[in-house]
A and B are shown apart, each in its own frame.
Chain A
């Protein structure tokens, strides 16, 4: 470190300074080398703008189409002129990959942006402490709140997760570790179940709980409907994760005189922990935004209901659905805010799960 603080004049013969190699990244292009690319990109934008102005193509869509075609053409030409045909092919494929990546990211970014733009302004502290039981449909946003929907959502998702994690993970363990005689059948049904439309899951619980058993709307019934959707997602993802754990590790455990159960519990599951947490996250993501099964099982409510085992309840997707349906201006605003809150809640859960999953030991 002393060589830095001493700040010797250039050309010093200090051997220490000569010996210390500086970390270089010679594989990164210098700004000068990037210049043709930058000019090419700017040129393409300008050329597309001019083309759109003078030709019958019009609007943003016209500009994007022109831009894609022109950038492929210009990049290929520059590379070909500066280097050779292979460089041109490389440029073209690189640009195509970037555009395709952008096409995937754009809708997601657009959705998130739109939700924040329309949902965030309606946000207020008060809405997390009030429900809609005494608020008129066209009342201003300062009245009422979504506490009932938030609590309902947390209840229904938490209960569904509690039911799904053991069943889903044990199913995955049966398929990968026990490899019992029924594995093929179980795998087939798990795959078939993951294709069940969510309303069918709701109808199933409705038929069993309300019609056959004569029950009434409640939060737990809704979480069972969600569990039907969540179990196959958890089981399939967990199965894939467990399959990736090398057989070597299982054999090492067994060769140490462990029972299969001990090997799975102390070796296989810890090795797969991060992936198993992802499996649960994916399952939760699958059900957090479900509305249809809740309509049939939880029933909906404008008032607070702290008891998940009795009485109607609300949920954030349900709150959104209902407020959009009101047709009032404030209803729409409440709906957007509800979507925003739902997104934030889901993101908070994902972050917590990720942090827990990455922490070793």
Chain B
């Protein structure tokens, strides 16, 4: 009896997540393959942390990466924009193709890669020495891009990040005076200013309250019309709400593997792998 009850409950949960996901039509706005990972492996020192990940991110879609802590999701997305190499012992193998060209090919300008593949971090990290305005436009200064109408860009980025109405009268205050949720949206606006093709988000809402999370999810949906988004999340509801595709990562003590990838509604309603089902129903992880 007990077992049956448990199964019923988890079944209900799967159904509700699947119903959220079903409202999203996968790949409707796809503009062809945007970013492709091919046979990616990663190491920290001698430790093999990611094994043979191949995953396509279609342009104009949102892909969620889910999985338990320590399964290599964050390492994987840091490989996508070459932030992985800042960890001294880090190494990788495989290819990451942006518009069909490997971002790890020799002679490539790494800063150009990161300009095209932006990143939003887990903890909001606005630059403390800069005002809200300077924060948004900092990418231009940092990447030495010259533009004519910076005020227009400023407003555009803040509007798209869903922050404009809250900060338009205090653009000259310091970024640190904003609340956590606002700071995270400021960081999103900052990444938008350099017009990336792809935006990587590493648990962008894990430090935020539900209200701010909702605002950021709306922002993600709006942004996905014009760019490819990859989001790492521990929140299954969030994955169901915002993503078109979902990839499930798992590590059984060894290196992390990509167990399954499919349109989000399939992952939550009809997963092929038993382990995926167990994870999305909350039976482990």
A263 within 8 A of B: yes
Q: A267-B127, A271-B129 are in contact. Are A259 and B111 (CB under 8 A)?
A: yes
Cross-chain contact of A251 among B83, B141, B143 (Cβ < 8 A): B83
- Quick one: CB contact mask for B127-152 with A, threshold 8 Å, 1 for yes? 11111000000110111100000000
Interface centre among A258, A270, A271, A360 (most CB of B within 10 A): A258
A61 — which chain B residues lie within 8 A by C-beta? none
A255 — which chain B residues lie within 8 A by C-beta? 81, 83, 114, 118-119, 121, 191
A256 within 8 A of B: yes
B111 — which chain A residues lie within 8 A by C-beta? 257-259
How many residue pairs link A and B with beta carbons under 8 A? The number is 78
A253 near B128 with CB under 8 A, answer no
B residues sitting closer than 8 Å to A (CB atoms) are 81, 83, 86, 88, 111-112, 114-116, 118-119, 121, 123, 125, 127-131, 138-139, 141-144, 174, 187, 190-191, 194
Query: Within the complex, what minimum Cβ distance (angstroms) separates A258 from chain B?
Result: 3
A251 and B139 alpha carbons, distance in the complex (Å):
12
- Quick one: CB contact mask for A78-92 with B, threshold 8 Å, 1 for yes? 000000000000000
Cross-chain contact of A256 among B88, B129, B130, B191 (Cβ < 8 A): B191
**Is chain B's binding surface mostly helix, strand, loop or mixed?**
mixed
A246 within 8 A of B: yes
Q: A249-B125, A267-B127, A271-B127 are in contact. Are A256 and B142 (CB under 8 A)?
A: yes
**Is chain A's binding surface mostly helix, strand, loop or mixed?**
helix
A248 within 8 A of B: yes
Interface centre among B114, B131, B187 (most CB of A within 10 A): B114
A139 within 8 A of B: no
Q: A257-B112, A259-B111, A360-B174 are in contact. Are A252 and B129 (CB under 8 A)?
A: no
B127 near A249 with CB under 8 A, answer yes
A254 within 8 A of B: yes
Query: Within the complex, what minimum Cβ distance (angstroms) separates A178 from chain B?
Result: 12
- Quick one: CB contact mask for A220-264 with B, threshold 8 Å, 1 for yes? 000000000000000000000000001011011111111100110
Q: A257-B112, A267-B127 are in contact. Are A248 and B121 (CB under 8 A)?
A: yes
Known pairs A266-B138, A271-B129 / 5 extra A-B pairs, C-beta < 8 Å: A252-B121, A255-B119, A262-B141, A262-B142, A271-B128
B119 — which chain A residues lie within 8 A by C-beta? 251, 255
A258 and B130 alpha carbons, distance in the complex (Å):
16
B121 near A258 with CB under 8 A, answer no
B143 — which chain A residues lie within 8 A by C-beta? 256-258, 262
A254 near B114 with CB under 8 A, answer yes
A262 and B127 alpha carbons, distance in the complex (Å):
14
Query: Within the complex, what minimum Cβ distance (angstroms) separates A91 from chain B?
Result: 40
A234 and B127 alpha carbons, distance in the complex (Å):
25
B81 — which chain A residues lie within 8 A by C-beta? 255
A263 — which chain B residues lie within 8 A by C-beta? 142
